[in-house]
Structure 1
Amino acid sequence: MKTLLNVLWLLLCGLWMAIGYVVAGILCCLLIVTIPFGIASFRMANYALWPFGRTVIRDPRAGAASTVGNVIWLIFAGIWLAIGHLTTGVALCLTVIGIPLGVASFKMIPIALLPLGAQIVSADSPQAG
């Protein structure tokens, strides 16, 4: 079932979301200071392509630099990405078939808000539990 949902997601909205995250990642990598944001954007692009069967966990070892970076990200990009995922999720939930896809869009909001210090892992991995 995960594979079917991932294929539907990829065709309906995942590819476009991933392209957007990759473009943002390339733009962030133009300056040395914003390379960590670019790397986080590439991770989110990977997650946006194939979200079912994976989950986001917080790294307890993430330090103060991660927190400061997340505050900067939240102000300049996180709020807008979260609003985008929220509106996409609501639009997808308007149809019965789109409800699981809408839930996946809602599931991406936490990493869109605070990407630094987060890891995307398989939902079956011991880390996810």
Structure 2
Amino acid sequence: MSALEVEDVGFSYGARRALDGVGFSVPAGHFCALLGPNGAGKSTLIALLSRLYDLQQGDIRVAGHSLRKQPRLALRQLGVVFQQSTLDLDLSVEQNLRYHAALHGMPRQLAAARIDEELARQNLGERRRDPVR
């Protein structure tokens, strides 16, 4: 089974086509790098892979799970470390954590329990409602 399969993925920002029929496969146990000039679609592909953007065309499968059909199962197999901070500085600590849990398909009750647990572990429970800024 492939760790990652990208099949006929296309994406447009209005009239501007960012990705057109992109496809590749990464076998389990291997890694790949996305290289290309500014505007080549690297960030768009990562945004699609992490579900920051919805797929417009094609499919992406993570460990055999379709992001289109089984997003929760696919996202559970995925870890992403963004180059820039993905925190919303105007949201509270807890709101940011809830947002990211939802992005990864974590059920609300489980997210609430994990957030409580981690805030306590980091001694940040009393700061949960503070803005990240």
TM-score by shorter chain over 0.5? no
The structure whose Rg is larger is 2
Q: Which has the higher contact order (CA 8 A, sep 6+)?
A: 1
TM-score when normalising by structure 2: 0.28
**Structure with the larger helix share:** 1
TM-score when normalising by structure 1: 0.28
**Structure with the larger strand share:** 2
